[in-house]
């Protein structure tokens, strides 16, 4: 995987972030979702580099080979703001003071927060299989809770760690023939690590508490994005079924929103990398 990419660890104020990067053109920061690592981009990233972009693929705080602080009661050290600040430090270390950020699944929430908190740094935003947290939490109702029950299970104190760590291979399932052997092996190593599992759960605990409160405050203050937004979603997953057209949701937060569905299951970067890369390249041209 990632032939020609450099691997390094960047120390931030409170974390150590493992990152892969390559290329010499305009920078694109790609953020993975749960329960993946940066390796989920192993088929998309080389296509973007070949098209003239610099591509940066980090493991989010506590995921994969990145480490972070122990959890705190208000979950702030695993909040999207804290993780977004890690990404700012990574890009600064790489000498990039303005860049595109794109995230899938949980990574889309980090990308959104980064664009909201650091509008001077973000040139464009990509959100894949994601809409703002508060759209789900405040409008989703029982239907959302039944479909995405794991959000509320993961947010419980203590219990999900015991359940998942009892047999992580049974809980987290992945097919190496779909994911790619090396990606699968890296992901499986991560999901077997109790510290990674705890950090991934803290991501969800922050999501339904401090992250959601910050989004609500942004909405009340009528804060909006002033960058173009690319929304992609998996046609063989259930986001569109739950929220309707995700582009319309994002238009509540931004004026310039484009995108389309991708013919894949949830992990679109692994299942439909050519389509994802084409969409990103067309958006950024």
How many Cα atoms sit within 13 Å of 76 on the Cβ side?
A: 3
Catalytic residue among 59, 85, 86, 105: 105
Residue pair 57/21 in contact (Cβ under 8 Å)? The answer is yes
- Our answer to whether residue 266 is catalytic in this structure is yes
d(CA 215, CA 232): 21
d(CA 224, CA 241): 25
Residue 263 structure tokens:
């013919």
Which position among 34, 147, 260, 266 bears the catalytic label?
266
DSSP string, 67-122: B-PPP-TT-GGGSHHHHHHHHHHHHHHTT-SSEEEEEETHHHHHHHHHHHH-TTTE
Burial string for 205-217 (b: 16+ CB within 10 Å, else e) reads bbbbebbbebbee
Let me know if 105 is a catalytic residue.
yes
The Cα-based distances of 78 to 19, 50, 137 in angstroms read 18, 34, 19
DSSP 194-235: HHHHHHHHHHHHHIIIIIHHHHHHHHHTT--B-S-EEEEEET
235-252 per-residue burial string, b: 16 or more CB within 10 A, e: under 16: eebebeebbeebbebbee
- DSSP 8-state symbol, 260: E
Alpha-carbon distance 255 to 242, whole Å?
Answer: 22
Catalytic residues: 105, 266
């Amino acid at each position: 995987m990632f032939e020609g990419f450099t691997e390094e660890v960047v120390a931030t104020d409170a974390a150590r972030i493992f990152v892969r990067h390559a290329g010499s053109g305009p920078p694109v920061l790609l953020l993975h979702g749960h329960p993946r690592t940066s390796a989920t981009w192993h088929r998309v990233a080389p296509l973007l580099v070949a098209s003239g972009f610099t591509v940066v693929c980090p493991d989010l705080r506590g995921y994969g080979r990145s480490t972070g602080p122990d959890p705190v009661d208000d979950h702030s050290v695993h909040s999207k703001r804290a993780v977004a600040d890690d990404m700012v430090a990574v890009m600064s270390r790489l000498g990039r003071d303005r860049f595109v950020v794109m995230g899938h699944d949980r990574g889309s929430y980090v990308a959104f927060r980064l664009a909201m908190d650091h509008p001077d740094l973000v040139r464009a935003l990509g959100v894949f299989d994601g809409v703002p947290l508060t759209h789900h939490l405040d409008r989703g109702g029982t239907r959302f809770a039944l479909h995405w029950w794991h959000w509320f299970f993961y947010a419980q104190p203590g219990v999900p760690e015991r359940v998942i760590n009892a047999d992580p291979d049974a809980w987290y399932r992945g097919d190496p023939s779909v994911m790619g052997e090396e990606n699968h092996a890296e992901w499986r190593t991560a999901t077997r690590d109790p510290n990674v599992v705890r950090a991934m759960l803290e991501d969800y605990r922050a999501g339904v508490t401090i992250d959601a409160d910050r989004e609500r405050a942004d909405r009340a203050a009528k804060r909006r994005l002033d960058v173009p937004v690319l929304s992609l979603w998996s046609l063989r997953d259930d986001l569109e079924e739950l929220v309707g057209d995700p582009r319309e949701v994002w238009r509540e937060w931004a004026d310039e929103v484009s995108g389309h569905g991708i013919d894949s299951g949830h992990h679109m970067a692994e299942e439909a990398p050519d389509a994802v890369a084409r969409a990103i390249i067309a958006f950024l041209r």
